[in-house]
Structure 1
Amino acid sequence: AAAAGGGGGAWVVTCVGSLRSARLRLAGASAGGGGDDEEEHRFLDVVGPVEVCGLVGTFAADGRCHLHATLADERGRVVGGHLVGDDLVHTTCEVVLGIARGDAAFSREHDELTGYDELVVSPADGAPSGPQRWWWPFS
């Protein structure tokens, strides 16, 4: 998505729509020591249709993304988590993206502290300063 817009990355501004199915990785559900290995996590396979109540996340310049979704079923029950897999649109899914241009480039780099590939916002080519992480540990 970001590469198609010619930018250094992108983020979700807003999203509205519905999904026929979705796969969510649940919060804090790692059975192992962190990292992105699928075998270390618990998943929730959502069978729809469900409404997309929220979608947030980022896309690195290379297309790798980190997306979280909040979904509601026909009874109004809400679930959420890290969106993974081949999620199928039910009727429409309108996603508005902000594109990083000019001074910023998004990438994902492995972080020893968390065990995950984390977002790094770096100056674009020719900018004066080094990478800055845009998250803070809460501990």
Structure 2
Amino acid sequence: MAKKLSDLVAALVHHTHDWKITLLRSWPDIVGPLCSKVSVEKITEDTMLLVVQDSCWLQELYLLSPVLLKTINKTLDAPRIKNLRFRVASSAVKKEKKRNVEIKKQPLKKVYLNPTEEAALKKIGDQELTHALRQFLVRCYQER
């Protein structure tokens, strides 16, 4: 039986912190489509620590923090959150992205075009366009 994590947390948390549970449950509605870019890491009495995917989102959300604070406090029974703090997601995520980039830099295999493709390229009158299309086709085969 699968249960939402927020429901399990609600059963464990003391009732004086009900507003925090309300905030966690409402988080997707508060941030809307940005929910995939920012998540709640920690809630203290008057501060929220939010984790973002990268520094661009950190800056963007920092600049939007007054609007975000208003929206958060409208959701609660009283204006409890006074400060928002942001941090970029852990370096493990960055390492994974870097590893994916390194994989793409592996030596590319030699590609030979078939006779039909060669014939189609010969029909093109512009040499520069022919060269560009040939390179594009080769790159498409290499990235398969």
Tell which has more relative contact order, 1 or 2 (C-alpha 8 A, sep 6+).
Answer: 1
TM-score after normalising by structure 2? 0.21
Q: Which has the higher strand share?
A: 1
The structure number with the bigger radius of gyration is 2
